[in-house]
Structure 1
Amino acid sequence: MKESSTGTKNAQKDKRKSARFKEILQIFVSYNVLGNLSKQEHPEKVREALEMLGPTFIKIGQMLSVRTDILTPAFIEELKKLQDNVKTDDFASVKAVIEAETGLALTDIFTTFEEQPFASASMGQTHKATLPDGRLVAVKVQHPGIKEEIMLDLSLFEKVLPLIKYIPEASVVDPKEIFREVKSSLADELDSLKEAANGKEFYEKNNGWQIVRSPIIYEEYSTSKVLVMEFMSGESIKQFVKGEKNKESKELEEHQKMKKFFGDTLVKNFVKQVFDDGFFHADPHPGNILVQLLAPSDESLKEKVQTKKHHQEKRVGATDIVFDYAKEQELPPYRLVFLDFGMMGRLDADMIHKLTAIMDSLYGNNVKAIGQAILRLCKQSGPVDEEAFFEQLTPLLEDNYGVSIGEINLQTLFFQIIAICHKNNLQVPQEVTMLVKAVATFEGMIRELDPSISLVEIATPFAKKYFTEKIDWSFELKRAGLDLLYSAKAAPKIPSRTLDVLDDFAKGKTKINFELKKQNELLDRVEGMINRLVIGLILAALIIGSSMLVEFNQRVTSNFVSILGIIGYGIALFAILFLAIDILRKRKKK
């Protein structure tokens, strides 16, 4: 009886799986999801299809909505319209998940636990609770069965991907590569212990940096489906920006001042995360940053931040007095709180060094140096024509140099740079892709806070600071000394070498080697032209020969020979039609 029950459950599961697969396949075909995604066409159809397929695919769309490195701005804007439509779980379900994960009764872990969540998303919902020692905490609990549902949908989605080989010209983006990255990201988000470890590291590196705060993570209470962290009150930074509408002139002026301060702080902190820590928040959208107004009795109001040092010299009589001092400034009664550490990026020392070179070149407006730095950063996936790469990159960088955030669309700029890289067989590393995504997400919020901020100007001092701290000066000096020594030894030989070259010119011994760009492509075209010419000659001969056969007048063989001539006409006509269609198709493609 037990075996029969198990068999029935398995049959029902297989039936649901089969029905879900048919549903995914039918919607993908109806809306041509893979074709539109591959060729980056009709983004509204892709969005509609993802909405119809439910939470897993909505989450995939939301993750893609910040991938400015692979999707066009039109696709990005359309996918941003995707919204979670998630029903909250009842308290009994939440209680069951927590107790199953921890092996303890809910009342043994928390003295109070609010049954209604104060936040809910596609992965889980968050409740306010109190620990036995009185600490207020936020408890993030995964929706029951969400992990299994997402894994099932992903496995079925993977079965649909082979259809990509039937899509003509699907070369703009590779859905298989996108799927692998999304699957990895979703797996990380479904593991609360990974988010807990990320949150703890972020707290250690950033909590207390000027007005930046981060919740304490309580790893001892967290599991793979339950995350317990310090409860942080506040409103989203987006709501804070909107709050200026109903303010009087004096309050409005203070509000504008705070917006600029927040923008400056967030940009500096983000640049510090990248260049100092090598560990950055990869999803810094407005919903993940709270503005917290401190109570007058809060002790942290007394905190001060040290501003930059000042150097001053003063002459008193015959004595010069030199002194350095640093100003201290009181922090405002606000704190910026980072939340949600499911998506974080990491950069090793070598990658930071390469990014530093790019920032230094950007600040110096040296297009050649920027291009060389990008070439060192990327991996080559094929032959690279550096001259063509620089020709495409130079006008783009010159048009955008020194432009503030308010005057530039970073999403479009990053997409154009990465498109140039892809066009020239340059593959951007995954960690840089994540950084580009984070910066593009960051852009919209900073634009609303202070459009006049220049990321390059703020990032460059951090890049230079990293460069001066990390560089091995003894090694660099030795290398520079050796280069100078080799140059000094070679200098006396320059006049004699010049005379040798001039002598070779005079005697006619000089050879000039020149490289023909894209010679394979040119030879292929020449070969195609010759082949068509040969085919044309053969067709002309066939038509002439067929005409002669049709005119053959011998009584015995006239019918047979005439038929051969007509067949020759047919073959010639078929070949001419085929060539005409092929020429028109290629011309239309161009």
Structure 2
Amino acid sequence: MKTNYTKKRLREIVSVSVKHGLKGGINNPSQLREALEELGPTFIKIGQILSTRPDILSKEYILELQRLQDDVKPEKFEMVKNAIESELNNSLEENFAIFEEEPIASASLSQVHYAELKTGEKVVVKVQRPNAKKMMMADIDILKKLAPFINLTPTGSAMDAKEVIEELAAATKKELDFINEAKNTKCFREKNKDVKFILCPKIYEDYCTEKIIVMDYIEGIKIDNIDKLKEEGYDLKDLATKLTYNYFKQIFEDGFFHADPHPGNIFLCGRKIGYIDFGLMGVLDDNLRKKFNDFLEAVANRDVNLMTKSVMKIGQKRGPVDRSRLYEDIEIIYDQYIEESIQDFDLPQIIEEIFKVCKDNNIYMPKDITLLVKGLMTIQGLIAKLDSEINIMDIALPYVKEHITNEKLKDLNSIETLRSLYEIIKSNLILSSKIIELIEQIKAGNLRTQIEFKESEEASNELNKMVNRLIFGMIVAGLVVSSSIVINANVGLKIYGISAFGLIGYLGAAIAGFWLLISIIKSGKL
């Protein structure tokens, strides 16, 4: 409360909050949106960040906050020019051959200008508004002080206002650091460089600072401009399929996905899907991905017990958890879908309902999982606009099944494969030796049994031959199975693109199998 700004802003926030009925908690989505709009640009940004958090807000609130308008009056060009020159330590003319004074977009924290570099590249320059960071962090500090009195979370939320504000502060700092956005853009571009239908802007690092980012200019058609896409001859079904497949790739293969894939951030340019704005990205490490894979596998198999276990593993406890009650709550969701074909499942809706169950059971989901759910909800909305006949599950099921299979095979390497082959053969040989030892005990009369053998020598020899052939057949089968796994995993030295270890295993199995067949034929007991 040291500055006049803080005192004046505090009175304004309290007044608007009371006016829109937020003092006793949020009970109406439109109340929250209207309050944030009235409080200005920094609170609009807070609302936009909240719209990515289905763990904090229900679907009605998220949809309402997505209506927040972020178009604000642009800064005067002189202020923009001074900011760029101060950050780059050079005049605007020395850095750019062309720099358009009128911005092509203007938001609460930054604005974007078209420019051309001295080397001829067409770029966009994203410039942070002067004092934007200082004012936004000051507003968040005020909210921290007001948290005990003004509740920013809907009634029944598993998180209190203080926790929400702390997370908002962390998210805001990230969004205000353009170096972080530049790193995200480079990482996304690298991970998708081999996807022919994906376009990601190139970052020009020499021109990037905490307050300025310069990247390729992507000009195209917004992905929700259906009429224009049809006019340009795009296959909307193919477009929807590619968009979904790539988003699943971002999640399950890369573990690095665009957390805000709304229509304003996706363009069609030269028959490619172009992404922009990488300030908000989701990250799933290997451990979290495995847990989420288990959850999806449980959904696909309608396994309530595995769903419950997966939710317990993914979530963080915020109080006492009754596992029986959690199981029953998830089972209720399961019963709603039991009569439906799995292709008709609304995956984001199911996950959102499970999130609600988690809140009711004092379980809080990690931020990146909530970003993932928000992303899936947004992608599903885009798919519905592009082709109403496509359901996200049509693509999710085969992709997830294939991915889970590949995950189980990708960790195989040549040494481990050889070790597995050795263990299979060794186990079979041990089994064989034990059976032979048993037979020898029978021959020597050391087996404690009251059965009296007649002509035991001949009988045991025949049994010995039979067991040897059985064990030999098991070894051959083991070689065939192990070689198939190796070839499917495609690891180790290659011969004409096929794993050499797999081929050697097949060859060994063929020779051994042929020898076994000859020995059986010679015995006259085929």
TM-score where L is the length of structure 2 = 0.73
Which residue number in structure 2 is paired with residue 460 of structure 1? 401
Give distance in 2, aligned partners of 1:180 and 1:108. 41
Contact 1:393 1:420 in 2 (8 A): yes
Structure 1: tracts of 5 or more residues without a match = 1-10, 295-333, 486-590
Which residue number in structure 1 is paired with residue 295 of structure 2? 358
Give distance in 1, aligned partners of 2:153 and 2:126. 42
Structure-2 change in CA distance of 1:467 and 1:287 (3 Å): farther
In structure 2, what residue type is equivalent to 1:276?
E
Give distance in 2, aligned partners of 1:400 and 1:244. 35
Secondary structure of residue in 1 paired with 2:215: strand
Deviation track 1:484-507 (CA, whole Å, cap 9, x = no partner) reads: x9xxxxxxxxxxxxxxxxxxxxxx
Contact 2:148 2:161 in 1 (8 A): no
Which residue number in structure 2 is paired with residue 59 of structure 1? 45
Give distance in 2, aligned partners of 1:341 and 1:223. 15
Contact 2:300 2:342 in 1 (8 A): no
Secondary structure of residue in 2 paired with 1:147: helix
Aligned mate of 2:252, from 275, 278, 302 = 275
Which residue number in structure 1 is paired with residue 75 of structure 2? 89
Query: For 1:226-375, what aligned pairs fall within 5 Å after superposition?
Result: 226-239=212-225, 241-243=226-228, 255=234, 258-292=235-269, 294=270, 334-375=271-312
Aligned mate of 2:185, from 189, 199, 216 = 199
Contact 1:71 1:415 in 2 (8 A): no
Which residue number in structure 2 is paired with residue 376 of structure 1? 313
Offset, 1:210: 3.0
Contact 2:99 2:116 in 1 (8 A): yes
Secondary structure of residue in 2 paired with 1:238: coil
Deviation track 1:445-499 (CA, whole Å, cap 9, x = no partner) reads: 1221234233331333223322332479779998xx99xx9xxxxxxxxxxxxxx
Aligned mate of 2:138, from 145, 148, 152 = 152
Contact 1:284 1:441 in 2 (8 A): yes
Contact 2:74 2:111 in 1 (8 A): yes
Structure-2 change in CA distance of 1:469 and 1:166 (3 Å): closer
Secondary structure of residue in 2 paired with 1:36: coil
Structure-2 change in CA distance of 1:186 and 1:22 (3 Å): same
Offset, 1:281: 0.8
Offset, 1:357: 1.5
Contact 1:377 1:428 in 2 (8 A): yes
Deviation track 1:221-275 (CA, whole Å, cap 9, x = no partner) reads: 1011100001111121112x24368x6xxx8xx54xx211111111111111111
In structure 1, what residue type is equivalent to 2:173?
A
Give distance in 1, aligned partners of 2:227 and 2:89. 44
TM-score where L is the length of structure 1 = 0.65
Structure-2 change in CA distance of 1:282 and 1:81 (3 Å): same
Which piece of structure 1 moves more, 58-67 or 209-218? 58-67
Contact 2:352 2:373 in 1 (8 A): no
Which piece of structure 1 moves more, 336-345 or 462-471? 462-471
Give distance in 1, aligned partners of 2:283 and 2:114. 31
Contact 2:25 2:155 in 1 (8 A): no
Give distance in 1, aligned partners of 2:222 and 2:199. 14
Which residue number in structure 2 is paired with residue 435 of structure 1? 372
In structure 1, what residue type is equivalent to 2:228?
G
Contact 2:103 2:112 in 1 (8 A): yes
Give distance in 1, aligned partners of 2:93 and 2:342. 53
1:175 aligns with 2:161: yes
Secondary structure of residue in 2 paired with 1:137: strand
Offset, 1:286: 0.9
Which residue number in structure 1 is paired with residue 384 of structure 2? 447
Secondary structure of residue in 1 paired with 2:82: helix
Offset, 1:111: 1.1
Query: For 1:217-228, what aligned pairs fall within 5 Å after superposition?
Result: 217-228=203-214
Query: For 1:527-538, what aligned pairs fall within 5 Å after superposition?
Result: none
Secondary structure of residue in 1 paired with 2:371: helix
Q: What is the CA RMSD across the aligned residues, in angstroms? A: 3.0
Offset, 1:171: 5.4
The number of equivalent residue pairs is 418
Please tell me whether Structure 1 or Structure 2 has the larger radius of gyration of its CA atoms: 1
Give distance in 2, aligned partners of 1:242 and 1:215. 25
Query: For 1:429-578, what aligned pairs fall within 5 Å after superposition?
Result: 429-451=366-388, 452-455=390-393, 456-457=396-397, 458-470=399-411
Deviation track 1:43-96 (CA, whole Å, cap 9, x = no partner) reads: 222221111110111111122223222212222222222112400122211111
Contact 2:24 2:150 in 1 (8 A): yes
Contact 2:316 2:365 in 1 (8 A): yes
Contact 1:276 1:466 in 2 (8 A): no
Q: Percent identity?
A: 35
Give distance in 2, aligned partners of 1:382 and 1:269. 38
Secondary structure of residue in 1 paired with 2:125: strand
Give distance in 1, aligned partners of 2:32 and 2:315. 30
Secondary structure of residue in 1 paired with 2:147: helix
Aligned mate of 1:120, from 100, 106, 118 = 106
Which residue number in structure 2 is paired with residue 534 of structure 1? none
Give distance in 1, aligned partners of 2:216 and 2:69. 27
Give distance in 1, aligned partners of 2:156 and 2:286. 36
Give distance in 2, aligned partners of 1:352 and 1:172. 24
Give distance in 2, aligned partners of 1:342 and 1:121. 14
Which residue number in structure 2 is paired with residue 490 of structure 1? none
Structure-2 change in CA distance of 1:188 and 1:404 (3 Å): farther
Give distance in 2, aligned partners of 1:411 and 1:363. 13
